[in-house]
Structure 1
Amino acid sequence: MGSKDGVGVLAPFVGGTYYGTLVAGTLTAAAAQKLPLFAIQTLDAAADLTVSGGSPAFDASVAWDHIGGFVVFADAVNPSYLHRLGRAGKPVVLVGHTVAGLNRPAVLADNGNGMRAAVTHLIREHGCSRIAFTGFLEASDIRERHEAYLEVLHEHGLTPGPLLPATSNIEMGIEWTAADWLRHGRQDALVAATDRNAIGAQRALAASGLNCPDDYLLTGFDDLDRSSFVRPELATVAQPLDAMGRLGVDLLVREMRGEPVPPVEHRLPTRFVRRTSCGCTAFAERLPELPTADPRRRLAIRLADVVVFDSGIDPVATGAIVADALDAAAVVPAAEVLHTLLAASPTQETLRVICRAVQEYAASTTGALRGIQDIVMFLGRSFNRLQLGDQLHLRSLISVNYDLSITLLHRREVDPRDPSWLALTPATAGAIALRDRAGDLVRTPGWRRHPGPAIPAGPTSAEAFPPDELIEATDPGKAIFVVRAKVSESDRGWLALVDRVENRVEDGRELVNQCAALLTVALDRREQEARLLWAAQSDRLTGLPNRSSFTAALPAAVGRPGTVLFMDLDGFKQVNDTLGHHSGDELLIQVADRIRHCLRESDLAARFGGDEFVVLLRDTTPGAALNNLIDRLRTAISAPYQLGDRTAQIGVSIGYADCATGMSADQLLRDSDTSMYRAKAGRTGAAIPADRGLLVQDRL
């Protein structure tokens, strides 16, 4: 494979419990193929997930020079972007969704069977006959879930309950109220298309005093981490997210290597997870009854209930190992195997099922009771350590976010354009590409934690970003994240960094997203502060420094070689009186431009007030050089001015004071002012005699 070997992932967010788990699967598969993974976030930094069907605002071909093909998650981009990828010769594998008219391979959870299991459970186990549905039907996977819901009701001779539409797949998508729910009569249960829809619906109903599971039963779909921690615990359908990401990359790499990959759907199994919200209130106290009396078979079935089914753990084999260890009173081997199960799904539900399953097996077999208490205590300690690890991780993220906020938003000595502030994060390398005033992207010098080739600055394109040097700095087990530094209407460019996948926080709260948002806000603040500072120190009309700015800079020149010039325009009042203040303002602007052109970069010119200007000439002392400069200023200022359709001509009186004399800044201004008035009075400072006044002519 050539220079475009990278695997691209397009996702609304590049971390979080849902999208982060998908990204983690793609990273595992790409790493197995020794290919870099580019995780590109299609939503703006700090955005909320409020779009479905893909953000039309994302149209950048970012990182295309490095990427041979893309795995595209649901809601990442709209169909037109996918067609662009096809025209560019970049294969695409869809994960979690399908797109009408796009003939590409797709990796999907078995939405139908998962939903069928949930609805069947409500009907058979809890006697529900009036079951409502809520979800965002414009998404292909949600439509599949809704169709399965209708099929199960039809098979059981039940009339579908009301369809309460959602506007998105998240909590905020539930815009209906308890009044809408009650309008259709009493419902036994509500089936939500996603866990986040379910949580939003529960909140909406609770606001009117309707509580789950007392007043209605509830199921979701996705089995997000928070589903087992909300109250009541949310019954849901678990998806094999990690396996979906891995399979997506496997199919993509085969096509990138020239192998034929049929454009078909690949369905991975789902599993219904019963919890309190679906009416299984006893699940927290006892295990459900099983149809088999064989202790080993029962143990395998119990453990299968907690196995993360895309983790590669075989519950039957695991059950056999645990049973053999219990029969032999081998506490440590049994505990270690059970710890592996618990670590794959560190929830109270998993701990409860494992402990009860082991106790059940021990109670039904001879000789397996020894060491059970030790195993339960070991698992309890393991669970506490796992929970503590998550807590410490989240505390660390909070601390990092705080440090980043203080550093980027409040420490004046830190330049946000220098990505070395990424040293506060776990990232190992970073690069920033910012838009200049013409809209072109320019990279600032990059940063890397470990020694290696520098990541240089320079002009770039979206296609070439991030630079090769950052890609070469990628460590094993880490991805290259690319996020647009854009918040609301402020679009600054792109941030790229190398880091591990973050999938233990809510979607959109991952660190790379926060870094891009803080970078954008910090650049906005610096620019706003610069504008305010310029406004405070500049003359709004001419753009020159104002009086306060000049007087603040003057003390540093006292006692050093230099000269202060004080200039007063001769005949300016006649321009105002004859042509009006607008023409007078235009004249002052042109005078300021002529002064600038006569001076060096090291000199400082300012509008002192009205038609008075002052200049600090650094390293210039009275003598021939100063006289020549004064003559140039007189000639330039006294040349005719075109003001609309009229021509005007003025003069200038110039006085000066020598900085090297050691007099104070105030005295320098007074002396130069006095010198100017002497020049005006003696007609020696005016290129045009004062009594000549204003010459105004019509344009011919």
Structure 2
Amino acid sequence: MRDSRAVGVLSPFVGGTYYGSLVAGVGAAARSYGRRLIAIQTLDAAADLTVNGGDPAFDAAVSWDHVGGFIALADAVRPEYLARLALAGKPAVLVGHTVAGLDLPAVLPDNGAGTRAAVTHLIRDHGCRRIAFTGYLAATDVRERYDAYLEALRAHGLEPGVLLPARNNVESGIAWTAEDLMRHGRPDALVAATDRNAITALRTIAAAGLRCPDDILVTGFDNIDEAGLLRPELASIGQPLDAMSRRAVDLLMRQLDGEEVPPGPYLLPTRFVPRSSCGCTSLAEKLPTVVAGDGQQRLARHLAGTLPAIEAGDGARCARAAAERAAAATAHALLAAAEGDSSRLGPAVDELRDLLATSPCPETLRVIFRAVQEYAAGLPLGDVPAAARVGAGVQSIMMSVGRSHTGVQLGDKLHLRSLISVYYKLNMALLHRRDVEPRDPSWLGMTPATAGSIALREPDGELVRTPGWRRHPGPSIPAGPTTVSAFPPIELLDAAVPGETVFVVKAKVGDSDRGWLALVDTVECRVEDGREIVNQCAALLTVALDLRDQEEHLRREAQSDRLTGLPNRSSFVASLEAAIERRRAYGRPAVVLFLDLDGFKPVNDALGHHTGDQLLMAVADRLRHCLRGEDVAGRFGGDEFLVLLDDVAPGPVLDELVDRIGRSIRAPYQFGEHVVRIGVSIGTAECVAGTTVERVLQEADSSMYRVKATRRRAVA
């Protein structure tokens, strides 16, 4: 069954503060068009956080049967994959990158404008002349930032500073030392391509005995939440992630409607946020000077400054309108409070809370507080009681909005605590408990997921779905053969309700490729990229299946003869004990055969141990072909073998089986140019009531020697 109404997003990771925010934005925009979202992670489960240009190993047409068009995030797939999408008639829109040679619409943050603004600020406002750069230039967006850095320096007649390459875009990417930074003299400033790089750069600078901003200024890029909490606070450039997601989906929908969409690029504005690391007073500590007609307009301008960068158009108008509503509600509330009416404080708090929700960080909260205080301080109040009432109103607003933010922070803390608990339960269940079957996705019930399906790769490479799982009542998610283009099954897609996303991640860790995991959940944006639950689940599934296979291999090794692969003596004894117990409990008969090869030693001595081993393996194969499925053959040791015939008693059936085994083993063997013939002596012993393992084996052994002795007398 196929359904191509979904929007697909290809992303190195399907969660996290950066990729997760983009995936969530794509999902929200897709839902506004009545489309559901399938988020496909292109890196393996538990992959390293470093990405560069897409994983060349990702070439699977995942969910192509269900997806009408794709949003491809930076470093998700290689150009060859995007070309295949075009040949398949599936439109695609790029986000955060461009691809040379492919005329695809590309939605980009204005990396150049943001970087040029930061470098120009360092030059014009702080007099910097020697500015270094650090970043992972293999990433396309970082290369754009580096090119803009060079362009800004040229525009001001300055030479490039020291280039300090990073190994990746996160904290671990910074491996250079203070000596590297200072090799051409101490720079005035360092421009880092990402905030994560900048965080480690600040530590390296501090370890060298230098101080920021006194000795060197530092800027970053991405304006992550931590930027405003560092000491010094990190100056950074914010990206309009939500606006980028919305624009990408809009362009994709236009293509799906048959419209010809130009390749772009479609640049969205970034915003440089000066803070103390670049030598400025933080926006949250000192509001910028705003020229406006009255206090309410200045309040609106200050509040709008807290909003993420948004491109011109409806989004920008809505953002300005939100700031103006909050300013108007606050102004009216404080003017009413001056007259003794506190009833309007509640609506003002609601508007300010909505504004805070667009950028829920301590810095935004501090800006709101300072802006409200500045407005209140500028009110023309006629007497002290009125001023006191306004002061009380400001305090009430600040406490109410502050409690709201504290609630958000508490919610984040509890959420992370819950994730830790989930990870622990998953680890214990999949890696330690043996009553949990990894192939059964019902273990997803320990996570927030609401449905799941697993497609495992068979030895021949084919994919087979195990029975799916869903938390809520609904049609079952069936098992059966599948293709990667049809995975996940349509029943899993239908299990997703508005607000949920279908995630697909390869169950592959290192060289172990087990197949695919799909589950239904909400996007996780509050943990680092690649460490969200869906990725953890796929990684744990892979490791758990590997452990089960290793345990089964070890069990077989412990119970099998290494040369022939037949059960060894201890394993055969366990089977014999079970047969004796069945005879005692149900009267079910069984017979043990004891086989000793005649003439094996001369072959082994004449042709060598290698040929002797080959002969023993050949005998084992012939035994397997002679026996029924319920029978057990084992190697007792040397050239002796045991056979347990289940539900067989002395008589014609037993005689026929013994004769068949004897004829098969006595038939000639061909090993290269050598033809080998051996004989076999077979003794029998019945598992009578009240017998023991030792007695049965002893009787079978004695019977075998009687047969051998009889044959020798006949030959003599």
TM-score, structure 1 as length reference: 0.94
Which secondary structure does the structure 1 equivalent of 2:100 belong to? Answer: coil
| Closer, same or farther: CA 385–691 of 1 in aligned 2, 3 Å | farther
CA distance in structure 2 between the partners assigned to 1:304 and 1:110 by the alignment: 20
After superposition, residues 206-245 of structure 1 pair within 5 angstroms as 206-245=206-245
CA distance in structure 1 between the partners assigned to 2:396 and 2:324 by the alignment: 23
Aligned AA (2:616): L
The answer for the alignment partner of 2:693 in structure 1 is 665
Which secondary structure does the structure 1 equivalent of 2:591 belong to? Answer: strand
Give 1:591's match in structure 2, choosing from 619, 631, 637: 619
| Closer, same or farther: CA 283–645 of 1 in aligned 2, 3 Å | same
Say if 2:534 is the partner of 1:512: yes
Say if 2:357 is the partner of 1:343: yes
CA contact (8 A) 1:655 1:675 kept: yes
- Which moves more between the two structures, 227-236 or 435-444? 227-236
The answer for the alignment partner of 1:262 in structure 2 is 262
The superposition leaves residues 423-465 of structure 1 with CA deviations (integer Å, 9 ceiling, x where unpaired) of 1111111111111111111111111111222111111111111
CA contact (8 A) 1:363 1:369 kept: no
The answer for the alignment partner of 2:319 in structure 1 is 313
The answer for the alignment partner of 1:498 in structure 2 is 520
After superposition, residues 531-610 of structure 1 pair within 5 angstroms as 531-559=553-581, 560=583, 561-610=589-638
Residue 309 of structure 1 and its aligned partner are, at CA, apart by 4.2
CA distance in structure 1 between the partners assigned to 2:709 and 2:37 by the alignment: 78
CA contact (8 A) 1:240 1:309 kept: yes
Which secondary structure does the structure 2 equivalent of 1:539 belong to? Answer: coil
Which secondary structure does the structure 2 equivalent of 1:661 belong to? Answer: coil
CA distance in structure 2 between the partners assigned to 1:548 and 1:214 by the alignment: 76
Aligned AA (2:361): T
Which secondary structure does the structure 1 equivalent of 2:370 belong to? Answer: helix
Which secondary structure does the structure 1 equivalent of 2:516 belong to? Answer: strand
Residue 95 of structure 1 and its aligned partner are, at CA, apart by 0.6
CA contact (8 A) 2:233 2:282 kept: no
Which secondary structure does the structure 2 equivalent of 1:631 belong to? Answer: helix
CA distance in structure 1 between the partners assigned to 2:127 and 2:556 by the alignment: 73
Residue 238 of structure 1 and its aligned partner are, at CA, apart by 0.7
Which secondary structure does the structure 2 equivalent of 1:438 belong to? Answer: coil
Say if 2:310 is the partner of 1:328: no
The answer for the alignment partner of 2:340 in structure 1 is none
- Which moves more between the two structures, 290-299 or 668-677? 290-299
Say if 2:684 is the partner of 1:656: yes
The answer for the alignment partner of 2:654 in structure 1 is 626
Aligned AA (1:313): A
The superposition leaves residues 285-307 of structure 1 with CA deviations (integer Å, 9 ceiling, x where unpaired) of 44344445732122112212222
CA contact (8 A) 2:330 2:345 kept: no
Residue 328 of structure 1 and its aligned partner are, at CA, apart by 2.0
Aligned AA (2:687): C
CA distance in structure 2 between the partners assigned to 1:495 and 1:282 by the alignment: 45
After superposition, residues 290-309 of structure 1 pair within 5 angstroms as 290-292=290-292, 294-309=294-309
The answer for the alignment partner of 2:480 in structure 1 is 458
CA distance in structure 1 between the partners assigned to 2:285 and 2:4 by the alignment: 55
| Closer, same or farther: CA 316–255 of 1 in aligned 2, 3 Å | same
CA distance in structure 1 between the partners assigned to 2:211 and 2:559 by the alignment: 62
Residue 690 of structure 1 and its aligned partner are, at CA, apart by 8.6
CA distance in structure 1 between the partners assigned to 2:701 and 2:685 by the alignment: 9
| Closer, same or farther: CA 615–231 of 1 in aligned 2, 3 Å | farther
Say if 2:431 is the partner of 1:409: yes
Residue 53 of structure 1 and its aligned partner are, at CA, apart by 1.8
The answer for the alignment partner of 1:50 in structure 2 is 50
Say if 2:6 is the partner of 1:6: yes
Say if 2:395 is the partner of 1:373: yes
CA distance in structure 2 between the partners assigned to 1:254 and 1:657 by the alignment: 81
CA contact (8 A) 1:343 1:386 kept: no
Q: Structure 1 vs Structure 2: percent identity of aligned residues?
A: 64
Residue 196 of structure 1 and its aligned partner are, at CA, apart by 1.9
Say if 2:359 is the partner of 1:353: no
The answer for the alignment partner of 2:378 in structure 1 is 364
User: Which sections of structure 2, spanning at least 5 residues, go unmatched?
Assistant: 338-343, 584-588
The answer for the alignment partner of 2:39 in structure 1 is 39
Give 1:390's match in structure 2, choosing from 412, 417, 438: 412
| Closer, same or farther: CA 210–522 of 1 in aligned 2, 3 Å | farther
The answer for the alignment partner of 1:102 in structure 2 is 102
Give 2:644's match in structure 1, choosing from 594, 613, 616: 616
CA distance in structure 1 between the partners assigned to 2:159 and 2:668 by the alignment: 90
The superposition leaves residues 517-537 of structure 1 with CA deviations (integer Å, 9 ceiling, x where unpaired) of 111111111111111111111
CA contact (8 A) 1:651 1:690 kept: no
CA distance in structure 2 between the partners assigned to 1:164 and 1:627 by the alignment: 84
CA distance in structure 2 between the partners assigned to 1:553 and 1:523 by the alignment: 27
CA distance in structure 1 between the partners assigned to 2:82 and 2:205 by the alignment: 39
| Closer, same or farther: CA 575–471 of 1 in aligned 2, 3 Å | same
CA distance in structure 2 between the partners assigned to 1:216 and 1:281 by the alignment: 16
TM-score, structure 2 as length reference: 0.92
CA distance in structure 2 between the partners assigned to 1:305 and 1:190 by the alignment: 26
Which secondary structure does the structure 2 equivalent of 1:267 belong to? Answer: strand
Residue 418 of structure 1 and its aligned partner are, at CA, apart by 0.9
The answer for the alignment partner of 1:481 in structure 2 is 503
Which secondary structure does the structure 2 equivalent of 1:642 belong to? Answer: strand
| Closer, same or farther: CA 293–259 of 1 in aligned 2, 3 Å | closer
CA distance in structure 2 between the partners assigned to 1:666 and 1:622 by the alignment: 20
CA distance in structure 2 between the partners assigned to 1:163 and 1:308 by the alignment: 30
CA distance in structure 1 between the partners assigned to 2:259 and 2:329 by the alignment: 40
CA contact (8 A) 2:3 2:490 kept: no
CA distance in structure 2 between the partners assigned to 1:612 and 1:169 by the alignment: 64
Residue 370 of structure 1 and its aligned partner are, at CA, apart by 4.1
CA distance in structure 1 between the partners assigned to 2:715 and 2:291 by the alignment: 116
Say if 2:670 is the partner of 1:642: yes
After superposition, residues 66-145 of structure 1 pair within 5 angstroms as 66-145=66-145
CA contact (8 A) 1:408 1:522 kept: yes
CA contact (8 A) 1:17 1:225 kept: no
The answer for the alignment partner of 1:431 in structure 2 is 453
Residue 171 of structure 1 and its aligned partner are, at CA, apart by 2.7
Which secondary structure does the structure 2 equivalent of 1:613 belong to? Answer: strand
CA distance in structure 2 between the partners assigned to 1:119 and 1:318 by the alignment: 34
CA contact (8 A) 2:326 2:348 kept: no
| Closer, same or farther: CA 32–444 of 1 in aligned 2, 3 Å | same
The answer for the alignment partner of 1:696 in structure 2 is none
| Closer, same or farther: CA 353–691 of 1 in aligned 2, 3 Å | farther
CA contact (8 A) 1:52 1:169 kept: no
CA distance in structure 2 between the partners assigned to 1:483 and 1:231 by the alignment: 38
Residue 649 of structure 1 and its aligned partner are, at CA, apart by 1.4
Residue 158 of structure 1 and its aligned partner are, at CA, apart by 3.5
Residue 488 of structure 1 and its aligned partner are, at CA, apart by 1.0
CA distance in structure 2 between the partners assigned to 1:635 and 1:53 by the alignment: 65
Aligned AA (2:638): G
The superposition leaves residues 179-201 of structure 1 with CA deviations (integer Å, 9 ceiling, x where unpaired) of 11100211111111221222232
The answer for the alignment partner of 1:470 in structure 2 is 492
CA distance in structure 2 between the partners assigned to 1:66 and 1:643 by the alignment: 55
- Which moves more between the two structures, 671-680 or 322-331? 322-331
